[in-house]
A = this chain, B = another copy of it.
Amino acid sequence: MTRSSDQNAPREGLREHKRRETLRRITDAGMCLFIEKGYEATTLDEIAAKAGISRRTFFYYFKSKDDILLSLQNGMGDMLVAALREEPQDKRPLHAIRDAILKVCAPIPADDMIAIDRLMRSSEAVQARKQASYIQHEKALFAALRERWPKPERETGLRLVAMMAIGAMRLASDALSREDGKRPFDELLHEAFDALEGEI
């Protein structure tokens, strides 16, 4: 088989391409099995088999079984920060974050959100690490906020803003699952932020 006969010429290097492919296969296999037979009941051997790799290779791509689920969650922090940077400078911190969250979450189908949320609830360890990832989001947001409002006396305030914003997001996300998607996410998020204004 000569190289000239390959029609799908790799644009970004064959290595990178294969890597992405394998990563996707593992994630798909994992998600598929998790939904099919539950998170705890799915073993790494099964995932590896379905993804067509060895068990050892799985650990070349993921740090742990949890990471299959959490890789999705963990990307959120960076996305939020990026979206926040694109918000107009004159908005109040809380509104800027709210709109950043809206922008990041808008393209995610509600059904996917709910499905992943349900999966995460099925394992205590995963659920815990999801909560922990919220704290990471808070930290990331706080750092981004401080760039824009660098006065030292605002620090505690900005920490709280980040905390409240992520909290509101959590509330909206919980409500989405609880109501099983009856109302859209952006409505719930607005409601949570409005309630935040009314409180205190």
Contact = CB atoms under 8 A, between A and B. Distances in A.
Interface of A: 94, 124-125, 127-129, 131-132, 134-135, 156-157, 159-161, 163-164, 167-168, 170-171, 191-192, 195-200
17 contacts: A94-B200, A125-B128, A125-B129, A127-B132, A128-B128, A128-B129, A128-B131, A156-B191, A159-B171, A160-B164, A160-B192, A160-B196, A163-B167, A164-B164, A164-B199, A167-B167, A197-B200
Number of identical protomers: 2
A188 to B, nearest CB: 10
Given A94-B200, A200-B94, A200-B200, A195 B160 contact: yes
A160 B171 contact: yes
A62 to B, nearest CB: 14
Contacts of A195: 156-157, 160
A197 B196 CA distance: 12
A27 to B, nearest CB: 21
Interface residues of A, dominant DSSP: helix
Contacts of A160: 164, 167-168, 171, 192, 195-196, 199
A187 to B, nearest CB: 13
A134 B171 CA distance: 14
A129 B127 CA distance: 9
Given A125-B129, A156-B171, A160-B195, 4 more contacts: A94-B200, A156-B191, A163-B171, A164-B200
A164 B167 CA distance: 8
A153 to B, nearest CB: 10
A134 B128 CA distance: 10
Nearest to A171: B159
Nearest to A175: B156
A65 B6 CA distance: 53
A101 B197 CA distance: 24
